[in-house]
Amino acid sequence: MPRATSVRSKKAYTTDGNNHTGSSVTVISAPRSLEDEIRTRAYLLYEQEGRQDGRDHEYWLRAESEILQRLGQRRG
């Protein structure tokens, strides 16, 4: 699955500055378009389900459905 350009991983730190070795957090910038928002959500679904390759179309459709439903629109 192609990686979304607006998603990146960083090392996790607590508010006291301690590094949690091996930990990471996902940092997401604000989407610039509906397509960017769908791409970002699809990538997060991909990550949440263990980065299973070959399911990119499924993740895209799920993300699109979630976002359009939230916006009160239907896929046309």
Q: Encoding tokens for residue 16?
A: 């006291």
For the chain, what are the domain ranges? 7-71
Q: What's the distance, CA 55 to chain centroid?
A: 14
Q: What confidence score (pLDDT) does residue 4 get?
A: 45
pTM: predicted TM-score of the whole model, two decimal places: 0.57
List of the chain residues with pLDDT < 50: 1-16
Residue 67 pLDDT: 94
Contacts for 26 with CB less than 8 Å, ≥ 6 apart: 7, 8, 9, 44, 47
